[in-house]
Each structure stands twice: as C-alpha cells, then as structure tokens.
C-alpha cells in the first residue's frame, strides 16, 4: 500500500468515525455535522476532477451544486403537493430518481457551459464560469414558482427504498456511500487513459496536441463528469437541510468548494474529504467562538498556500507520484 | 519518382511588415534526412510551426502523404503521422518517462475516451512504450518523472514519443541543442539509422551533425530558401558561405 493510499484510508475512516462516536455518545448533532462534511466532500470530489486532474479552475461549480439541490426540491414539492410537472410527469420523493435527474440536469447544463467556457483559458475561464453561474443564480432568485429568493422547503426528507432516511445515521451512511462512489470514480478516472490525457492537458497542452489528442474534447468530458458529481451532492445537501435556496447557487459556494480542495490537496484523492472535514470543523467550532471565523480560515488558507502547497494530503503523504 | 512524403509549395507567412516565410518550397523524400539550416531569426521555427499546424501560412500549400493538410490542426496532423520534437523539450513534467511515451501509444491506438481500466496495468500501453524507451536508451530511467531527467535525456524522450506515434515523417527541431559531444555522437548514429524508418526534416545548428547526416540541405536566410542541395553542393555554394558559414569557411 502506498503512503497516499494509507493517508486516504485514514482520512475517510476518520470521517466515518465521527457519527459512530456521536451515536455512542448520544451527541446526535455531530451526525449532522459529519453528514455535512461528507456531502461537501462529494461536491468537492466532483470539482477536483476538473480542477485537480484537468487544471480547470471552475469558479461556477455552485451552479451544478444548486441545480442538484433544486432537482431534489422541485421534484419533492411536486410529489408533496401531488401536482404533475410539465408534460404530465409526476414529482417524486425517491432519492435514486432524484439523483438521476440531478446528474442529468447538471450534466446537460455543464455541457452547454463547458462548450463555451473551454474555448478560453486561465483567468478568462474563471470569469466566464463565474458569469454563467451568476446567470443561473439570478434566474433562481427571480423565478417565483419555486420560492424565488426565499427558497423552497422540503417538508419531509426524500426516501430511499428500504431505508429510513429520517434517521440521521442512516442518511449519513447514504451520503457516505455516495462519497465513496465518488472517490472510486475519481480514482478510476485518474488512472485511466482518459485521466492520462486529462492530466497531460493540465501539464502541457502542446504536448498532448502533438501526440494527436485534441485537448478540448477531453476537457469538456471532464467538465461534464465533474459537474454531475457536484450535482448529486447538491441533491443530498438539499435533503440534509430540507431546504434549497439560491444561496446554493451563489459564488460563495463556488469559492467554498475551491477552498475545500486547496485546504485538502489539489488533485489528491482524499483532498476534498480532508478539506471538507477541516472546513466544517472550523465553521462550527470557530464559528461558535466568533462570528469572524472566516478571518481565521483565511489565515489557515494563507498558511496552506504559502507553506503546504499540497494541502493536508500533501503534508501527510508527500508529493503526488504518477507512476 | 514517387511523390514526396512532405511537400511545401510557395509558403508565405508575414508578421506585420516582417516576412518570416518568403515563398518557401521544399520537400522531404522517403528515406532521406533533409537538413534545414540558417542563422538565428531566419524563420526556421516559423516554418516548423506551419508544418506542424500550430501556425497557418498566409498563402501556399503543405501536402503530407499526398494530402493537402492546410486545414488540419496539430492533433490531426500528428494522427496522420507527423512526429515532432521541440527546440525546448516539451513533455508532461509530472509523468514518468514511461508515462510520457504511453500517452503517445494511447493516442496512436485512438482510445482516450476509456474511463476505467488503469493504464499502468495495461500491457498494450506499457510494453510498446517500454520498447521505445529501450530503443533510445532510456529504459533504466523509465520510472523517473520527466521533470527530473537530464537535458539530454529529455531530448531522447521526445524522440521516443515521436517513435511511439509510428510517425511517417519526423520533424526534429534542434535535437542536438545543449547536448554534450558524447550525446550528440550517439544521437547522430541513432538518426542515421532512423531515416530508413521515416524521413527526417532536421533543423540543426550543429554543423558536424548536419554534414554527417544530411542527404540534402536547405539554407534559409531572412525567410527565403537561398539554396538546396547535397552536402558537397552546399559547402561549395558561394551565397551560403557568405550568408551563413562565414567567409573563411
């Protein structure tokens, strides 16, 4: 087992340990906290495909997170009110269906956004992805049908066949399971031919073109897959909070996902998990002490960028090796 | 005579008032090494860019393997079999030497949209890549990241990549640059044998290597080809001596 595999395993097991300990100690609030960590980690695993493997600094991934959230909210509200959707389709409160819709919707939107944005690079790419996400954000605010600015409540958490999702621990395990699936997807992509081309596009675009692989299509596919994973995390996030609002689509959210990855380790398998655990812990513990907790988060981020470029995973496992 | 592998006809490329390529016509025939020499700023790099597809000529045509490739981009020309090395090595620095070559093998197999099988366990990638590293003498450095290879080794690696593409023609931009004499000698011997596999358009400043290797030489000065001929003809050409080799040569 390589050192990185070991570090990844320890990080993931540490996340798993939180709700188990919380259950034993009767501190059920920490189960919610751990679930929040797992879901944000999943969203960041998605972004890590584009950002970490492909070097695509998307500052608009909140769009996909929010689209996933609204997929859950809208489908659930139609099911709750027994109103059919357009084309006479029924709403649903079944998580697997909601996830599939969240994945499809964020994938389709990512295809459109990516097809245009990926014609640019560098700072222009950052700005254009931000612009697209802001468009969707303002659309959500101004669209009254699903709560507009006030957001949309999910009155009863959506269901998963055979499980009681109202139980916090069960919902944690559902989220954790999807996180593991996301991590498995990330690892498989990273080691595959597609991942080789994607990482080559990040390291040296000219080299990739010179061996005969056009970087654009590779990046577009990565952007779409990345958005799909972040989208499904959005659906879970809506179910965790039983609420979805335009704030899930805001640029703060996009920034938060990037911060998670930088904290944990860009392009590293368990980077987003470590980053999400740290971030949520800061948010909760520092946030309990001072309202200005983000100032201290800023200091930590500064320290990571200056002294520990590889984030938590880089610190524990050393530089990434590509075989 | 069979059609040349690569044929440039009346290429012109201007940057503002500067004619970087001025009505250049030359060809590359099967089995030969055609050296392209000229002083700094003569437009050799601009010409290479146009052949590879990273620059479009203003006018003129480029035919490769009997096909007009003017409308094709860099990846398409590479897939047709145009193997290029760069004046300053251009590799994927984090990947090992082996993985750099594997990327070319993968590209040649035309299968980059495979999402699950790990490449390092895929012998249809690792074995051909390893064979190419052996050919250029880098087998024992296979696991070293490209960024940690020596200058000379990076040059060899670029050639291994071009080989792995199954190139029908090689476009080598100063492969000897910055190499020690021993390395140049080894590479000269290697290129000498390589021409049997595919013809080479060789841009090179090392005149010993050029005179030892070239079947034909074209001399580029201020964007124009002022002479094309055998080594003996070029050595004897008065214009070339004035323009490039120095009066006393």
Instruction: Give me the DSSP letters along A96-118.
Output: HHHHHHHHHHHHHHHHHHHHHHT
- Contact between A192 and B117 using a beta-carbon 8 Å cutoff: yes
Nearest Cβ partner of B94 from A188, A211, A322?
A322
Nearest Cβ partner of B113 from A210, A211, A221?
A221
- Contact between B75 and A213 using a beta-carbon 8 Å cutoff: yes
> What is the structure's pLDDT at A308?
85
Question: B-contacting residues of A 217-236, CB under 8 Å?
Answer: 218, 221
Residue numbers of the domain that contains A77: 3-317
> What is the structure's pLDDT at B56?
94
Chain B residues lying within 8 Å of A218, measured CB to CB: 112
Q: Does A210 touch chain B (CB under 8 A)?
A: yes
Q: Does A62 touch chain B (CB under 8 A)?
A: no
Pick one of 3.40.50.10420, 3.40.50.300, 3.40.50.1100, 3.40.1390.10 as the CATH number of B1-81+167-249: 3.40.50.300
Half-sphere exposure of A23 (CA within 13 A, CB side): 11
Q: Does B115 touch chain A (CB under 8 A)?
A: yes
- Contact between B95 and A322 using a beta-carbon 8 Å cutoff: yes
- Residue A322 maps to a domain: no
Chain A residues lying within 8 Å of B145, measured CB to CB: 322
Coil, helix or strand at residue B15? strand
Beta bridge partners, B128, equal none
Question: How do the pLDDT tens digits run along chain B, 249 residues long?
Answer: 578 999 999 999 999 988 999 999 999 999 999 999 988 888 898 999 999 999 999 999 999 999 999 999 999 999 999 999 998 889 999 999 999 999 999 999 987 999 999 999 999 999 999 999 999 999 999 999 999 999 889 999 999 999 999 999 999 999 988 888 888 888 899 999 999 999 999 999 888 889 999 999 999 988 999 999 999 998 888 877 777 666 544
Q: Tell me the C-alpha distance between B63 and B8, whole Å.
A: 6
Nearest Cβ partner of B115 from A192, A203, A211?
A192
- Residue A93 maps to a domain: yes
Give CA separation, A47 vs A56, A59, A261, B38, B236, in Å: 9, 10, 8, 49, 63
At A58-83, the pLDDT tens digits run: 999 999 999 999 999 999 999 998 88
Which pair of tokens denotes residue A68?
């996933």
> What is the structure's pLDDT at B249?
41
Q: Does B88 touch chain A (CB under 8 A)?
A: no
pTM of the full predicted structure? 0.93
**Contacts of residue A290, Cβ cutoff 8 Å, sequence gap at least 6:** A296
Question: In terms of CA atoms, which chain A residue is nearest residue B143?
Answer: A323
- Contact between A211 and B95 using a beta-carbon 8 Å cutoff: no
Q: Does A207 touch chain B (CB under 8 A)?
A: yes
Which pair of tokens denotes residue A60?
């608009």
Q: Does B161 touch chain A (CB under 8 A)?
A: yes
Nearest Cβ partner of A194 from B86, B90, B114?
B114
DSSP secondary structure letter of residue B145: B
Chain B residues lying within 8 Å of A193, measured CB to CB: 106, 111-115, 117, 119, 122, 125
Q: Does A303 touch chain B (CB under 8 A)?
A: no
- Contact between A213 and B114 using a beta-carbon 8 Å cutoff: no
> What is the structure's pLDDT at A323?
64
- Contact between B95 and A191 using a beta-carbon 8 Å cutoff: no
At A118-152, the pLDDT tens digits run: 999 999 999 999 999 999 999 999 998 898 899 99
Q: Tell me the C-alpha distance between A44 and A263, whole Å.
A: 11
CATH 3.40.50.300 residue ranges of chain B are: 1-81+167-249
Q: For A153, phi and psi rounded to 5 degrees?
A: -90, 145
How many helical (H) and strand (E) elements, i.e. helices and strands, does chain A have? Answer: 14, 2
- Residue A80 maps to a domain: yes
Q: Which of A90, A8, A54, A39 is nearest to A223 (CA)?
A: A54
- Contact between A204 and B119 using a beta-carbon 8 Å cutoff: no
- Contact between B92 and A200 using a beta-carbon 8 Å cutoff: yes
Which pair of tokens denotes residue A234?
């959005």
Question: How do the pLDDT tens digits run along chain A, 323 residues long?
Answer: 789 999 999 999 999 999 999 999 999 999 999 999 999 999 999 999 999 999 999 999 999 999 999 999 999 999 998 888 888 888 899 999 999 999 999 999 999 999 999 999 999 999 999 999 999 999 999 998 898 899 999 989 999 999 999 999 999 999 999 999 999 999 999 999 999 999 999 999 999 999 999 999 999 999 999 999 999 999 999 999 999 999 999 999 999 999 999 999 999 999 999 999 999 999 999 888 888 888 888 999 999 888 888 899 999 988 887 76
Q: Does B148 touch chain A (CB under 8 A)?
A: no
Q: Which of A167, A57, A64, A144 is nearest to A109 (CA)?
A: A64
Q: Does B108 touch chain A (CB under 8 A)?
A: yes
- Residue A34 maps to a domain: yes
- The count of structural domains within chain A is 1
Choose the mutation target among A203, A207, A222 for the interface with B, i.e. most B CBs under 10 Å. A207
Question: In terms of CA atoms, which chain B residue is nearest residue A191?
Answer: B118
Give CA separation, B70 vs B6, B51, B64, in Å: 12, 9, 9
Q: Tell me the C-alpha distance between A74 and A146, whole Å.
A: 7
C-alpha distance from B236 to closest chain A C-alpha (Å): 37
CB B219 within 8 A of CB B227: yes
Parallel/antiparallel/unpaired status of strands B200-203 and B169-173: parallel
Beta bridge partners, A263, equal none
- Residue A217 maps to a domain: yes
**Contacts of residue B181, Cβ cutoff 8 Å, sequence gap at least 6:** none
Q: How far apart are the first and last CA of chain B?
A: 35
Q: Does A199 touch chain B (CB under 8 A)?
A: yes
Q: Does B176 touch chain A (CB under 8 A)?
A: no
- Contact between A204 and B78 using a beta-carbon 8 Å cutoff: no
Percent of residues in chain B assigned helix, strand, coil, to nearest 5? 40, 25, 35
- Residue A254 maps to a domain: yes
Nearest Cβ partner of A193 from B54, B95, B119?
B119
Which pair of tokens denotes residue A89?
């389709």
- Residue A251 maps to a domain: yes
Chain B residues lying within 8 Å of A192, measured CB to CB: 114-119
Q: Tell the burial category of B182 from Cβ atoms under 10 Å away from its Cβ (0-12, 13-18, 19+).
A: exposed
- Contact between A189 and B115 using a beta-carbon 8 Å cutoff: yes
- Contact between A211 and B119 using a beta-carbon 8 Å cutoff: no
- Contact between B73 and A209 using a beta-carbon 8 Å cutoff: yes
Chain B residues lying within 8 Å of A206, measured CB to CB: 54, 74, 86, 90
- Residue A24 maps to a domain: yes
């Amino acid at each position: 087992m390589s050192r990185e595999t070991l570090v990844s395993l320890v990080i993931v097991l540490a996340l798993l340990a939180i709700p188990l300990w919380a259950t034993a100690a009767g501190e059920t609030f920490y189960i919610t906290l751990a679930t929040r960590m797992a879901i944000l980690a999943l969203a960041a695993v998605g972004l890590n495909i584009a950002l970490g493997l492909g070097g695509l600094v998307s500052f608009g991934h909140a769009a996909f997170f929010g689209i996933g959230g609204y997929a859950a909210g809208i489908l659930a509200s139609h099911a709750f009110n027994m109103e059919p959707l357009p084309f006479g389709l029924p709403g649903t409160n079944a998580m697997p269906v909601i996830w599939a819709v969240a994945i499809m919707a964020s994938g389709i939107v990512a295809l459109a956004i990516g097809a245009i944005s990926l014609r640019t690079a560098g700072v222009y790419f950052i700005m254009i992805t931000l612009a697209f996400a802001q468009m969707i954000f303002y659309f959500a605010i101004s669209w009254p049908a699903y709560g507009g600015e006030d957001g949309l409540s999910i009155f009863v958490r959506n269901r998963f066949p055979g499980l009681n999702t109202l139980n916090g621990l069960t919902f944690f395990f559902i989220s954790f399971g999807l996180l593991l699936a996301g991590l498995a997807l990330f690892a498989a992509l990273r080691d595959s031919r597609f991942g080789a081309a994607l990482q080559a596009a990040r390291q040296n675009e000219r080299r990739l073109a010179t061996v005969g692989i056009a970087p654009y299509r590779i990046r577009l596919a990565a952007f779409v897959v990345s958005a799909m994973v972040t989208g499904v995390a959005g659906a879970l996030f809506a179910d965790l909070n039983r609420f979805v609002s335009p704030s899930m689509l805001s640029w703060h959210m996009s920034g938060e996902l990037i911060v998670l990855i930088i904290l944990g380790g860009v392009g590293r398998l368990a980077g987003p998990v470590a980053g999400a655990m740290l971030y949520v812990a800061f948010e909760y513990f520092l946030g309990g002490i001072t309202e200005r907790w983000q100032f201290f988060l800023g200091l930590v981020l500064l320290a990571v960028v200056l002294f520990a470029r590889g984030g938590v995973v880089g610190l524990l496992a050393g530089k990434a090796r590509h075989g | 005579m069979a059609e040349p592998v690569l044929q440039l006809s009346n290429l012109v490329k201007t940057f503002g008032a500067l004619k970087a390529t001025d009505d250049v016509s030359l060809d590359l025939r099967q089995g030969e090494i055609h050296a392209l020499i000229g002083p700094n700023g003569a437009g050799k790099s601009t010409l290479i860019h146009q052949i590879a597809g990273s620059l479009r000529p203003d006018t003129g045509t480029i035919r490769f393997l009997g096909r007009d490739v003017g409308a094709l981009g860099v990846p398409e020309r590479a897939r047709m079999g145009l193997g290029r090395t760069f004046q300053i090595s251009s590799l994927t620095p984090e990947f090992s030497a082996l993985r750099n070559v594997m990327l070319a093998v993968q590209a040649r197999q035309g299968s980059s949209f495979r999402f699950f099988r790990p490449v390092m366990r895929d012998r249809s990638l690792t074995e051909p890549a390893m064979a190419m590293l052996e050919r250029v003498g880098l087998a024992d450095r296979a696991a070293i990241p490209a960024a940690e290879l020596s200058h000379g080794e990076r040059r060899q690696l670029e050639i291994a990549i071009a080989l792995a593409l199954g190139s029908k023609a090689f476009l080598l931009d100063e492969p000897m640059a910055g190499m020690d004499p021993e390395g140049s000698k080894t590479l000269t011997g290697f290129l000498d044998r390589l021409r049997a596999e595919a013809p080479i358009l060789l841009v090179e400043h090392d005149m010993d290597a050029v005179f030892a290797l070239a079947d034909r030489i074209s001399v580029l000065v201020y964007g124009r080809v002022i002479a094309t001929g055998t080594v003996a003809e070029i050595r004897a050409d008065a214009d070339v001596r004035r323009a490039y080799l120095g009066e006393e040569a």
